[in-house]
Structure formats: structure tokens, C-alpha cells
Amino acid sequence: MPTFEVTFIDNIDEIPEWITGRDRVDIEYCNFERMQDEGLTTLAVKIGDKVHIHRDGGEPEDNTFARDWSWVSGLIADAYAQGVKDGTK
């Protein structure tokens, strides 16, 4: 089973089986129709056994220096660390 997976979820039928528990419940209660109207999407990233959920459209007009994209570098670092673990097995 892959230890690193990324998916965009734009409707309830697209929720992958590796999203479980509270994360799954939270996503199932999303109003996907409203999110699409507002240009938003849900990004799910699985690194090892940990799942990260982020909701944001990232529209060009909203990408300013005030926007907090710090979570991206953390996910990249976590994915790299998981890759090193997998590579040394």
C-alpha cells in the first residue's frame, strides 16, 4: 500500500477509502455544491498513516503575501521523510 497519496475531493463520491474516522465525517458534511460555487476544493494528503486535510481554493486573485501557505512546506518535508524511511526498508 502506498505511504504517500494525494487527492482533490470535489464531491462525496470522491472520498478515498484511506480517509477514515473524524476526517471522513468532516468531509462528508461538506457542502460541495457551495464550495464549487466559491471556487474551493478539499485537498487530502496521506503520508504514512497520517492524513492531512486542507480546504482552500488558492485562486490567483487571493494569493497575496498575507495568505498562509506554511502548511505546504510541512507536507513536503513530511513526504520526503516518509520517502527516506520507505527507501531504507
Is 42 within 8 Å of 27 (Cβ atoms)? yes
How many separate domains does the chain show? 1
Buried b (16+ CB within 10 A) or exposed e, 6-42: eeebeeeeebeeebeeeebeebeebebeebeeeebbb
The mean pLDDT value for 36-58 works out to 79
Q: Residue written as cell 474551493?
A: 40
The mean pLDDT value for 35-60 works out to 78
Q: Which domain holds residue 44?
A: 4-88
CB neighbourhood size of 45 (10 A)? 19
The mean pLDDT value for 68-74 works out to 78
Q: Residue 37: pLDDT band by 50, 70, 90 thresholds? A: confident
